[in-house]
Amino acid sequence: MNRLALLCVGRAGACMGTMVFAGALPVLRQDWQMSAATAGSIQTAFNLSNALALLIAAWLADHYGARRVYLVCTWSGAAALACFACFAHSPQTALVGIVLVGLTQGGAYAPALMLAADLSAPQARGRAMGVMLAAGSFGYLLSVFFALWAARSLGPTAGFAVCAAGVLAGAAVGHVSLRGVARAPARAGSTPAALATGTAKSALGPAALCLLVGYVAHCWELLGHYAWTPSLLVAALASSNLGITTTALLVGVAIHVSGMLSTIAFGALSDRGSRSTVLIVVAGAGAMCSLLLGCSMQWHPAWTVSIAAVASFFILGDSGVLSAAISDTVPADKLGRVMGIRSVLGFGAGAVAPITFGTVFDTSHDWQAAYATLAAGGGIAFLAAACLAHFARRSRRRV
């Protein structure tokens, strides 16, 4: 197994803590008597602390190397989730604990993508980042499955503890995979298909701004989807009388397996063609799927599960493409800080999505109205991708 593949295995384990609260939420709302707004506020606190960690870690990665920052964050993330499992027994203690988890685990995101770029050739960067994100999605799947299954079978603490063990194992594998890797080398060149222009651009150019707006809107839709779709699916499947294990597996697979496949597929596709075209198609389809997902509670549960899987395929599908495009666009010595700013803005906006969703749902008691708030993010991402394509065409005409 090569170094990048082994790192992806470790990344999957390290991500098992990211979805632990969202996975257990269907059980926690009943056990802790939480309103949707309260549950959304806890997830928002996690996302905000995640955003802060992303900013700090990305800046540190430019100065001390992505390898060192990644390892510090994964090991400390395992310790933080173990503390969360021990002390989170109410909405109040969970709020404090989830902030600590976000501040530690969140810092591994940008360094992981930087390492993926460093360990791959420029012409394969989209695929490499897609694989890294797919590994994270697999970790999310495990997180949702074990958090929901163990929370229903043994109680929430058991679900948190199982995920903490997974994060610890992921940190150990990541440590082994990065032995001998020095400070991140300079990233040379760009893919011929980058932004459909074939050339790298200034970090402050219009293409970078379009990518920034698109990423912020993408995070709004994605983080809201991750926080609330497990609860939607559990509600839809309640009348089906499925067992705990089957329900947990269906929820995890519907949300994360399709997304895992899409990051690889769309990342590789963007290496061969135009990143902007891929972003237009994926963002537009994701927005439509969010609207359909809100309507699906009126239909058979099989439709709800199927639409959730298709929605995840498109909502997550542009993650690797956006990251590869930023890597193509920004000079190597500025990539860490640009990704940090991008991440804090994206995850900061995305942090508001779960509580916005929950507030709308508390007010309207309507899944369709709540999911419309997420579809708005997909619509903005679509417009940003269209603007990116426009600037790419203007650049070609000048050449």
d(CA 74, CA 171): 5
**Predicted pLDDT of residue 216:** 94
Which amino acid appears at position 177 of this protein?
A: S
Mean of the per-residue pLDDT values of the chain:
84
| Amino acid letter, 95 | L
**Number of domains the chain contains:** 1
CA distance 234 to 307: 14
Secondary structure class of 318 (helix, strand, coil):
coil
Name, in order, each residue with C-beta under 8 angstroms of 389's C-beta and a sequence gap of 6 or more: 196, 274, 276, 277, 280
Nearest CA-CA partner of 324 in 214, 204, 159: 214
Residue 225: CATH number of its domain: 1.20.1250.20
**Enclosing domain of residue 359:** 3-398
Lowest-pLDDT range, 1-15, 306-320, 333-347? Answer: 333-347
Burial of 67 (0-12, 13-18, 19+ CB in 10 A): buried
* Whole-angstrom distance, CA of residue 378 vs CA of residue 373: 10
More confident residue, 395 or 20: 20
Question: What would the mean pLDDT of 260-267 be, rounded to a whole number?
Answer: 84
Higher pLDDT, residue 201 or 261: 261
For the CA atoms of 44, 66, 70, 215, what is the dihedral angle to 10 degrees? 20
pLDDT tens per residue across span 204-236? 578 888 999 999 999 999 999 988 998 899 889
- Encoded tokens for 330: 């920004």
Asked which of 36-45, 185-194, 230-239 is least confident by mean pLDDT, the reply is 185-194
Residue 182's pLDDT is 63
Residue 198: what pLDDT? 35
pLDDT-derived band at 395, boundaries 50, 70, 90: low
Please name which of 103, 133, 67, 186 lies closest in space to residue 322, comparing C-alpha atoms: 133
pLDDT at 250: 87
Cβ atoms of 231 and 25 closer than 8 Å: yes
For the chain, what is the total number of helices (H) and then of strands (E)?
16, 0
Share of the chain above pLDDT 70, in %: 92
Of 55, 163, 51, 44, nearest to 94 by C-alpha is: 44
pLDDT at residue 398, rounded to an integer: 57
Band (188; pLDDT cuts 50, 70, 90) = very low
Tens of pLDDT along 159-168?
A: 889 899 999 9
